[in-house]
Structure 1
Amino acid sequence: MWFDRANVYQIYPLGLCGAPEYNDGVCEHRILKLLDWVEHIKALNMTCVLLNPVFESDKHGYDTRDYFRVDCRLGTNEDLKKVCDAFHAAGIRVMLDGVFNHVGRGFWAFEDVRQKKWDSPYKDWFHLSFDGNTEYNDGFWYEGWE
């Protein structure tokens, strides 16, 4: 496979592009800053960039809210497409990091559980107990890794 011989350059866009720590919902086109890095990465003979992570999230990127949208702190899906197109034009593949078995508190199904508790059809998507509580006072306990 191509990735067996790939030279991968890893980028954490939320950090490199100067995004605020918490998602305030304000859309800024920060991911376009990566366009300035394409030639540098190509000159290093990299064949791939790994973007960790870019999906809409609450804070650090791995607490995903929406796997179909670029984090608004980075811009829009169209901005990401421009970045990917620029890397592709330079002969550099793009990989997106995603942890699809982990979501943030702002994920729609978790929000439904927070609102409807045991009546939520999504309660079994999560490892939780209605016999406890969390520091967020959700009315149920779950193990968070933060």
Structure 2
Amino acid sequence: MVKHMVAAAVLASATVSPATAWAETPKPSTTGAPAAVIVYEKSGGFAGIHETITIDRYGKAHGTTTTTSADFQLAPAEFRSLRRRLAYIRTWSSSTAGCDVPDHFTYTLGYRGRHATRCHNLPADWRPAITRFEELVTRYLAPQPSATPRPSASGG
């Protein structure tokens, strides 16, 4: 009887361990980029834009655009906000609607084992998350203006 109680206690503690807190445990990455649990991709348009952001379970992110690449860490509040916006999404089916529009953008999202691609007209529940990703691209991946010397007011 005691053996059964000990076995049940060990089994119960194993099922509540921190390792099971996330259903999708990321696989180790061999490229140096974080093992993604959140994925964002935007491509297309007249200029041939291609932006990607992958974020691991700790908020460590890797982003690329057609001109730059960077690793960055999301602040805890920023990471929670993004996850809330992704959790709000209910439209996880892919669609080709709008893909026939010239110079359209194609968006791909991945979160909690779900993955979907949409073109041009996004479902309303995608907009808050897409807006947040676009803000991240601007903050962490947009080219920084170069510091050009200004002429002094004294003319010298």
TM-score by length of 1: 0.21
As a proportion of its length, which structure holds more strand? 2
Structure 1 or 2, whichever has the larger Rg, is 2
As a proportion of its length, which structure holds more helix? 1
